[in-house]
Amino acid sequence: MTLLHDDTDSERRVCILATAERLFRDVGYLKTTVADIAKTLKMSPANIYRFFDSKKAIHEGVARRLMSEVETEAERIARKPTPPIDRLRELLATVSRMNAERFVGDAKIHEMVAIAMEESWDVCEAHMMQITTIIGLVIADGVRSGIFKINDVELAAKSVCTGMIRFFHPQMIEQCAKKPGPTLDEMIDFIVRALVSGPWEISRPK
């Protein structure tokens, strides 16, 4: 019976987050209240608070849900039985594309992301750490096969993420779209060349 109860609670949490995301897209995060979410679901606000203790917690849940979709697809690509260079190219391009599709071009969702960057940075930081870890899986495969010539996989993965920031970060994707700089393909080419052109070493600060 406990499992059934837990399953029901989990389904309700998913339903609340899906409804909140829809309202954030239609109305905007700042204009959406917990009462609005409850009314749409034909629930009382008190019932919503059984699952989320604040509107901020709902906001974090929505952001986490969107980010986890990107992480799931990135991990799927990272584990494909294709050459490391092909996987890395596909992974970097896919993360950029999915972030653009989910967070850019929609003013109301962009508002939600901007607030997440300010108020829920731990959620955003956890997402970037996960993406960095997934990139590291591909780089490690490349090192083992002798394609990528580096001495520090973890630092290389962090460097790749930093190099891709204008294509990964939702706000920078929008802000840099019409500014001078490399295209997505040019940046990925540069990263791949850097990884295969060794041997070279990254020195950590002492």
Please write the tens of the pLDDT for every residue from 170-191: 777 767 667 788 899 999 999 9
pTM: 0.81
Tokens at 69, concatenated: 């979709």
Please name each of the domains of the chain with its CATH number: 1-53 (1.10.10.60), 56-206 (1.10.357.10)
Task: Please give the mean pLDDT across all residues of the chain.
Answer: 86
Map tokens 């990139």 to a residue. Answer: 135
Contact between residue 89 and residue 192 where contact means Cβ atoms under 8 Å apart: yes
pLDDT one-digit tens code per residue, 104-148: 666 677 777 777 777 766 788 888 999 999 999 999 999 999 999
